[in-house]
Structure 1
Amino acid sequence: MGAEFSVPQHANKSLPVDGPPAASPAMRTSKVLAFHSLARWKAHFEASKASSKLMVIDFSASWCVPCRTMEPVIEEFSAEYTDVEFIKLDVDELMGVAGQFGVQLLPTFVLVRKGIIVDKVTGVKREELQKKIEKHRSAS
């Protein structure tokens, strides 16, 4: 149900700090925010601590088949739950962030409110993720 997450050989190479790669037309209309820069992610995460809005962080990788299975689900949830912020982080690009959140399997969905982890779902578990989003989205 999930892919093992391990450090790829290229993980020690330095990654660009600015700018995501060019987005496909489908990605431009997405309500899911993708971060490719550690600096931008840190700034966004720090700012989110002031809000009580639920944040769902999707830790995935381009090579992860189960992650690709969940992509349309996350897109659907982001359109349905407009009061929830959906974030996508690639573990190969932001491996340190994945480590900070204890990500060991892909995909992993971490639910955060005010900078605090309130729940977590690993694997291709649409219904479980939906139930946890509904449970935490209105909690204050």
Structure 2
Amino acid sequence: MGAQASSQPRSDHGEVISIQSLEDWNTRLQNSKTSNKLMVIDFWAEWCEPCKAIDPTIQELADRFSDVDFIKIDVDKLPNVAKTYEVKAMPTFVLLKKGKERDRIVGVKKDELQRMIEKYGS
């Protein structure tokens, strides 16, 4: 009895979700409005070297903060979403809670990003 507790699926731990369509983004945004989970959106571009440099850190943070949704949006594939959030440089990290922007970080600022996740994550 109670043996199920030890066999939790790990599928949602450490996952960084890459958004490929406006429909997918809209669904995730709507879901975030009714959830108390923090959503960290990583606005990036394929050609952006700083974006590639911080990628391992994003994965590490996703592994550490499994109660936070980590989303990647390629600004070249979904320019309207980037425009909505007034993204002007990459990488830009936008932190949303209940669908509202709580904070943002522009550039490769690993420690600051971690502090913001800790601040808004719970």
TM-score range with shorter-chain normalisation?
0.7 to 0.9
Query: What is the CA–CA distance in structure 1 between the aligned matches of 2:52 and 2:111, rounded to whole Å?
Result: 17
Amino acid at match of 2:51: C
Specify which of 26, 32, 43 is matched with residue 27 of structure 2: 43
Specify which of 55, 60, 66 is matched with residue 39 of structure 2: 55
Other structure's SS at 2:94 match:
strand
TM-score, scaled relative to structure 2: 0.87
Unpaired runs of 5+ residues, structure 2, are: 1-12
Count of aligned residue pairs for this structure pair: 110
User: Which residue matches 2:102?
Assistant: 118
User: Which residue matches 1:5?
Assistant: none
Identical amino acids, percent of aligned pairs: 47
1:130 counterpart = 2:81: no
Other structure's SS at 1:106 match:
coil
Amino acid at match of 1:102: E
Query: What is the CA–CA distance in structure 2 between the aligned matches of 1:132 and 1:47, rounded to whole Å?
Result: 21
What aligned pairs does 1:3-42 form with structure 2 within 5 A after superposition?
A: 31-42=15-26
Q: Report the Cα offset of residue 64 of structure 1.
A: 0.2
List structure 1 runs of 4+ shifted beyond 6 angstroms.
none
1:76 counterpart = 2:60: yes
TM-score, scaled relative to structure 1: 0.76
Q: Please say if residues 14 and 66 of structure 2, whose CA atoms lie closer than 8 Å, have aligned partners that are also in contact.
A: no
User: Which residue matches 1:22?
Assistant: none
User: Which residue matches 1:8?
Assistant: none
Query: What is the CA–CA distance in structure 2 between the aligned matches of 1:44 and 1:129, rounded to whole Å?
Result: 21
Amino acid at match of 1:104: K
Query: What is the CA–CA distance in structure 1 between the aligned matches of 2:115 and 2:25, rounded to whole Å?
Result: 26
Query: What is the CA–CA distance in structure 2 between the aligned matches of 1:104 and 1:66, rounded to whole Å?
Result: 14
Other structure's SS at 1:105 match:
coil
Q: Report the Cα offset of residue 30 of structure 1.
A: 5.9
Other structure's SS at 1:117 match:
strand
RMSD: 1.2
